[in-house]
Amino acid sequence: MQLIGMDLGSTSIKAGVLDTVTKRVTLETRRPFPGPLVNLPRGHFEVSARAVCVAVDDVLDGLLAAAPDAEAIILCSQMHSMVLTNATGLELSNILTWQDQRAGLQDEGRAPLIQELKRTLGVDRLLALGNDVWAARPVAMLVWLAQHNQLPPNALFCSLPDFVGRHWCGGAELATDRTHAAASGMYDILANTWHHDALAALGLDKLRLPMVVDERAVIGQVRRAGRTLDLLAPVSDQQCALLGAGLAMGELSINVSTGSQVAMMHAAPITGGFQTRPYFAGRWLATQIHLPAGRALNALVQLLSQLAEAEGHQLRDQWSTIERMTRMTPASDIAIDLSFFAGALGDHGQIGNLREDNLTIGHVFRSAFAQMAQNYYRAALALDPSASWKGVVLSGGLARQSSVLQQEIASQFECPVRMPEGAEDALTGILSLFQ
């Protein structure tokens, strides 16, 4: 069977034709994910729902024309993004992404909303929700909307791929999968149902929620360009990337892209001071998330590019130049904290121990990569204090493109480190669901 797989990432929309017989991904294509709306209040990060529809339609139409034998479509998507719709599928909000931090800001002298939310939920509910309630979660955004009288009555909660699926299926109400339900911060991962008690405690009991189904379930029909294709239940990007990377029991996963996660797979759910997420085939992930990665490094790149660009010089290949200059710097004593954005390690970064002789691009990025590796090791010990992992599997675009980062991770962990074959872990992961 041939499938069209599409990964709705934070930076780009990647897609291809997946052949379950030859086990190959072909006709790969990508286009930028629409950028955020401008002139929003501090902490807000919203994307036009219409702009996303136009973008995914363009990608889908190109693949439909090139793949006449494709029988189904499956979406993989950035986790924690949400859209509100009415009963007919019309959007009632923009897309609020995982980069939205409004629930973590202080509002009119009060403590940040996320702190109040966690106190209301309490320890037991938080663990049942996977200990995965952060400012950048749909549950926190929804409470913020309700408190600011911006939550429409009888609105239906949709994850990003749920909304795209409704768009393609003529507005029909669709089901979602466990990985996206759990990513909302509203799903009881232990009882395998929406956590209605937590929703009532937060004043969200009137919110309409989709039915939750297993992966690979057919949830709708897409009629487009004179063809009818099955729409399969969507899957979240972290789980899909790890499946594509071939994560095995006993291995430690380090996924490095816009953000970073460290994870280990288990046969049963375990809870603690980390996040617990459903995986595939009845397995589970214990994971540490929101570790600084590509987004923080991009902030450094933007800073270092400002003078040239302000004088009209467009830098063509910053990352290759950074990689070359960093390889020429075998070590650095710069002290750096990449927490330029709110995450697991704080929300205030810094660069210290600077001198004239080490104030170079090579030193700055060598120290940044070294700190990332140290962060990953500390996160790994929080998951497994005995450090019993047998090896590390690296995935994500940033890990793939930087040999220096790979070297720093291998040096920090002192165990076998492997990089999966293939350029797109998420599309490979989707294909792996059908093997």
At 422 the pLDDT is 66
Which amino acid appears at position 10 of this protein? Answer: S
- In the chain, where are the structural domains located? 2-238, 247-419
β-bridge pairing 82-85 and 70-77: unpaired
CATH architecture of 247-419: 2-Layer Sandwich (3.30)
Same fold, 2-238 and 247-419: yes
SS3 404: helix
Which of 363, 362, 368 has its CA nearest to residue 349? 368
Q: How far is C-alpha 172 from the chain's CA centre?
A: 26
Residue 419 CA to residue 430 CA, distance in Å, equals 18
At 35 the pLDDT is 96
Q: Is 314 exposed, middle or buried (0-12, 13-18, 19+ CB in 10 A)?
A: exposed
At 231 the pLDDT is 98
> Domain 2-238, what fold?
Nucleotidyltransferase; domain 5 (3.30.420)
At 110 the pLDDT is 77
At 17 the pLDDT is 95
Residue 380 CA to residue 103 CA, distance in Å, equals 28
**Those residues with Cβ within 8 angstroms of residue 103's Cβ, 6 or more apart along the chain or in another chain:** 112, 113, 114, 117, 135, 136, 137, 140, 141, 143, 144
pLDDT tens per residue across all 435 residues of the chain: 899 999 999 889 999 999 999 989 999 999 999 999 999 999 999 999 999 999 999 999 999 999 999 999 999 999 999 999 999 999 999 999 988 999 988 776 778 899 999 999 999 999 999 999 989 899 999 999 999 999 999 999 999 999 999 999 999 999 999 999 999 999 999 999 999 999 999 999 999 999 999 989 999 999 999 999 999 999 999 899 899 889 999 999 998 988 899 999 999 999 888 999 999 999 999 999 889 998 899 999 999 999 999 999 988 899 999 999 999 999 999 999 999 887 777 778 999 999 999 999 999 999 999 999 999 999 999 999 999 999 999 988 888 889 999 999 999 999 999 988 765 678 989 999 988
What the block records as the tokens of 189 is 């991962």
Helix (H) or strand (E) holding 383, with range, is helix 361-383
Phi-psi domain of 420 (left: phi exceeds 0; alpha: psi -120 through 50; beta: other): beta
Where are the extended beta strands (E) located within 45-153?
Answer: 46-47, 70-77, 82-85, 95-96
Residue 372 CA to residue 369 CA, distance in Å, equals 5
At 197 the pLDDT is 97
pLDDT digits (tens, 9 = 90+) for 328-348: 999 999 999 999 887 777 778
Three-state secondary structure readout of 171-223:
CCCCCEEHHHHHHCCCEECCCCEECHHHHHHCCCCCCECCCEECCCCEEEEEE
At 424 the pLDDT is 62
What the block records as the tokens of 332 is 């650095």
Neighbours of 317 (CB within 10 A): 9
Residues in the chain: 435
**Those residues with Cβ within 8 angstroms of residue 81's Cβ, 6 or more apart along the chain or in another chain:** 95, 96, 97, 98, 138, 159, 160
Which amino acid appears at position 65 of this protein? Answer: A
Q: What is the DSSP-derived secondary structure letter of residue 391?
A: E
Neighbours of 362 (CB within 10 A): 19
What the block records as the tokens of 34 is 């629409």
Three-state secondary structure readout of 215-241:
CCCEEEEEEECCEEEEEECCEEHHHHH
At 283 the pLDDT is 95
417 touches 409 (CB < 8 A): yes
At 423 the pLDDT is 59
Q: How far is CA 211 from CA 82, 153, 172, 173, 174, in A?
A: 16, 19, 13, 9, 7
100 touches 136 (CB < 8 A): yes
Q: What is the largest CA-CA distance in the chain?
A: 65
pLDDT digits (tens, 9 = 90+) for 238-287: 899 899 889 999 999 998 988 899 999 999 999 888 999 999 999 999 99
Q: How far is CA 420 from CA 16, 243, 423, 425, 426, in A?
A: 18, 10, 9, 8, 12
At 257 the pLDDT is 84
Which amino acid appears at position 242 of this protein? Answer: L
